[in-house]
Amino acid sequence: MPVRDAEAFILRTFPLKESDKIACFLTREFGKYRGVCRGARRTKGGYGAALEPLTHVRIAFFERENRELTTVDRCEVVTSMMNAASADYATSLGLSVIAEVADKLLPDHEVNERVFRLLLVVLERVREGAPIWLPLTYYLFWMVRLAGFLPDLLTCAACGRSLDSGIVNDPPLDLRPVFFHPREEGLRCSDCAYAGMSQLSSLARRLALAMLRTPLNAIPVEGWDSKETAQDLRRCLLQRLEAHLEFRLQSRALLEEL
C-alpha cells in the first residue's frame, strides 16, 4: 500500500493496547481518517505533542487492505495549539467543542477544503489571543452553514413573512428578536412562536448576518470577552448540529456549565 502524505488536523485520540493510540485526523487532501500510532503512549514514542487535539500536522499514513484503520507512519507538528489551550479553561473547552464538531459532523474520506480552511483561520485567531467566544461562534456558524442546515435568518419558517417586516434599513440594524427550538428547523416570528421556544436576540441575528459577509480576521474582538456574547446564537447553532447528528455533543454540556 502506498504511503499517503498529507496536511492534517488531529481531532482526537484514544488509547489502544498498552502502548498505542488511535488518532482521528482530518487531512486536507483525503478527508477524515483514523489511524493507529504505534508506541504513541510511550514518552519516547516519537510523537511528542503532535497528537494533541487540533495540532496542525504533516502526517504520513497507509491504508491496510480490508481494514477500516490506517497505520500512521509519521506525524510532525506544523502549528501547536498547546499554548492557546492552556491559556484558560474557556479556551480549552471551546477548542474541545471545535474538535468534537469536526469529528462528529464530517464523513470519513471526503475532502472538504472549505472546512479545512475554516479550521485554519479559526485556530489562527485563537492563537492570536482573540476571546474564544468569537472564533468559536464563527466556526459553529460556518460549520452549520457549510453542512447546509443554517436556518433562514430573515424569514419566519411558519408564516413565511419577513422576520423584520416593517424594518427597511439595509443592512437592517434594528432586527426583531425571533424564536428557535430544538425540534424546529427554522426561526419563528413572535406571532408564530409557542411556549418553550428560546429567544434569539436582535444582536445575535445581526452578528450572524455579519458573519455571512465578513471574514473572521476582519471582525473586531470588542465586546466578545464575555461568554454571554452571542450565547443564544451558539445555543441555536449547537441545537441545529445536535438535531442533525441525533445526539448530544459531550463538550457542549461542559460549555454550558461554565
- The total of other beta-carbon atoms located within 10 Å of residue 93's CB is 21
Footprint on residues 13-52 left by Zn ion (CB under 5 A): none
CB of 157 to Zn ion, least distance (A): 8
CB of 159 to Zn ion, least distance (A): 3
CB of 164 to Zn ion, least distance (A): 12
H/E element, 78: strand 70-79
Considering beta carbons, is residue 144 or 189 the nearer one to Zn ion?
Answer: 189
CB of 121 to Zn ion, least distance (A): 35
| 126 φ/ψ sector (left φ>0, alpha ψ -120 to 50, else beta) | alpha
CB of 191 to Zn ion, least distance (A): 5
Considering beta carbons, is residue 163 or 211 the nearer one to Zn ion?
Answer: 163
Beta strand 56-63 with 198-200: parallel, antiparallel or unpaired?
unpaired
Footprint on residues 122-181 left by Zn ion (CB under 5 A): 156, 158-159
Considering beta carbons, is residue 159 or 245 the nearer one to Zn ion?
Answer: 159
- Does 197 contact Zn ion by CB under 5 A? no
CB of 166 to Zn ion, least distance (A): 13
Is the bond preceding 53 in cis, omega lying within 30 degrees of 0?
no
- Does 106 contact Zn ion by CB under 5 A? no
CB 39 within 8 A of CB 46: yes
CA distance 148 to 150: 6
| 60 φ/ψ sector (left φ>0, alpha ψ -120 to 50, else beta) | beta
Considering beta carbons, is residue 159 or 167 the nearer one to Zn ion?
Answer: 159
Considering beta carbons, is residue 136 or 157 the nearer one to Zn ion?
Answer: 157
Size of the site for Zn ion (CB under 5 A): 5
- Does 192 contact Zn ion by CB under 5 A? yes
Q: Residue 160: which residues within 8 A CB-CB, separation 6 or more?
A: none
For the record, the C-alpha cell of 253 comes out as 454540556
| DSSP SS3 for 96 | helix
Name the residue type at position 134. L
Considering beta carbons, is residue 18 or 191 the nearer one to Zn ion?
Answer: 191
Query: Which chain residues interact with Zn ion by CB under 5 A?
Result: 156, 158-159, 189, 192
